[in-house]
C-alpha cells in the first residue's frame, strides 16, 4: 500500500525560531493535508492542498504541495509555546473505489520558552 | 455548535468483554471513519462508511465491528477478539469521501 515518510520525528526549538517538516510518498497523491494534534485530543486540520505546486498559508503556517505530487512540506514561522504538539501530514489519492487517506507518523514539536 | 462528539473520553474493558465507543456528528457529513492511534505512531484506519447503511473494512478491522444505521452516528464495538485493544480511538467525518476529514477528541481505551 501507499506509505508516507514524515520527518523529522521530533524537533526541539527555541521560541521565535522557524520550523520546517516534510512528508514524502512512494506514490502520487492529489490531496495533501496537514493536521496538528494536542495531547489527549483529536487532530485539527491546519491546511489542505489540492494542486501540485500550490503554496498555501494560514497565519504563521505555510504548506506546499510538491511539484512531483509525491511530497509536501509545512513551515511554521516565529514559533510560540502553543505550537507544541504533534504535526501529521496526510495524503489522499482518488481511486475508482473511493479515496483513502494515508497518514504520516507525525513530527513531535517542542518549543522552549 | 457543530462538531464530532466521541464518548466516553476514557473507557476500561475487562478481559473477554465487548465495549462500544460512540461517535456522533451534527455536521451533516456523509462519510465517517474510525482510526486507532498507538503511542508514537500515526493513525491506522479501522473501518469507514461512505454513506448511511454502508461501511467497509480499513487496514486493521479484525476484532472490531461497526454499524451505520443513522447518518449522524457511527459506533465502534471493540470485541473480545481484539487481543490488544489498549489505544486511543479517533472518529472522523467528512462531507464526502474525498473531502478533508475532521476529528473528534478521541476515546482512550484501557484493559483492566
DSSP states of B43-107: EEEEEEEEETTEEEE-SS-TTEEE--SBTTB--EEE-TT-S---EEEEEEEESSTTSPPEE---E
Whole-number pLDDT of residue B1: 57
Whether residue A97 has pLDDT greater than 60: no
Which sign does the torsion angle of CA B39, B36, A33, A69 carry?
Answer: positive
Q: What is the 3-state secondary structure (H, E, C) of chain A?
A: CCCEEEECCEEEEECCCCEEEEEEECCCCCEEEEEEECCCCCCEEEEEECCCCCEEEECCEEEEECCCCCEEEEEECCCCHHHCEEEEEEEEECCCCCCEEEECCCEEEEEEC
**For residue B9, what is the DSSP state?**
S
Residue by residue, pLDDT tens for chain B (112 residues) are 569 999 999 999 888 899 999 999 999 999 999 999 998 788 999 999 999 999 999 999 999 999 999 999 999 999 998 889 999 999 999 998 878 999 999 999 998 8
Q: Is B101 on the interface with A (CB under 8 A)?
A: yes
Q: Which of B4, B40, B101 sits opposite A101 (nearest CB)?
A: B101
CA distance, residue A65 to nearest chain B CA (Å): 15
CB contact under 8 A, B98 and A99: yes
CB contact under 8 A, B43 and A43: yes
For residue A86, the chain B residue with the least C-alpha distance is B40
Cis previous bond, B78, omega within 30: no
Residues 60-89 of B with CB under 8 A from A: none
Identify all chain B residues contacting A34, using CB atoms and an 8 Å cutoff: none
Query: CB pairs below 8 Å between A and B: how many?
Result: 51
Best of A9, A91, A101 to mutate (most B CBs within 10 Å, chain B): A101
Q: Taking a C-beta distance cutoff of 8 angstroms, is the pair A42, B103 a contact? A: yes
Average pLDDT rounded to a whole number, residues A99-106: 86
Helix (H, G, I), strand (E, B) or coil at B27: coil
Q: Could you report the per-residue pLDDT of A49-86, keeping only the tens digit for each?
A: 999 999 999 999 999 999 999 999 999 999 999 999 99
Residue B31's nearest CA partner among B73, B94, B76, B91 is B94
Amino acid at each position: 500500500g501507499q506509505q508516507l515518510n514524515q520527518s523529522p520525528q521530533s524537533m526541539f526549538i527555541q521560541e521565535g525560531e522557524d520550523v520546517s517538516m516534510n512528508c514524502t510518498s512512494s506514490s502520487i497523491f492529489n490531496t495533501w493535508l496537514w493536521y496538528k494534534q494536542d495531547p489527549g485530543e483529536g487532530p485539527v486540520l491546519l491546511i489542505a492542498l489540492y494542486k501540485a505546486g500550490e503554496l498555501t498559508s494560514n497565519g504563521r503556517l505555510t504548506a506546499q504541495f510538491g511539484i512531483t505530487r509525491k511530497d509536501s512540506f509545512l513551515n511554521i514561522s516565529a514559533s510560540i509555546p502553543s505550537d507544541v504538539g504533534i504535526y501529521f501530514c496526510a495524503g489522499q489519492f482518488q481511486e475508482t473505489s473511493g479515496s483513502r487517506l494515508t497518514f504520516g507518523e507525525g513530527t513531535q514539536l517542542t518549543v522552549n520558552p | 455548535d457543530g462538531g464530532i462528539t466521541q464518548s466516553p473520553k476514557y473507557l476500561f474493558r475487562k478481559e473477554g468483554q465487548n465495549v462500544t465507543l460512540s461517535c456522533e456528528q451534527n455536521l451533516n457529513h456523509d462519510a465517517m471513519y474510525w482510526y486507532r492511534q498507538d503511542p508514537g505512531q500515526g493513525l491506522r484506519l479501522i473501518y469507514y462508511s461512505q454513506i448511511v447503511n454502508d461501511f467497509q473494512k480499513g487496514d486493521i478491522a479484525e476484532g472490531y465491528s461497526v454499524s451505520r444505521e443513522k447518518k449522524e452516528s457511527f459506533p465502534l464495538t471493540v470485541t473480545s477478539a481484539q487481543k490488544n485493544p489498549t489505544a486511543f480511538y479517533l472518529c472522523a467525518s467528512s462531507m464526502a469521501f474525498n473531502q478533508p476529514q475532521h476529528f473528534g477528541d478521541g476515546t482512550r481505551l484501557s484493559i483492566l
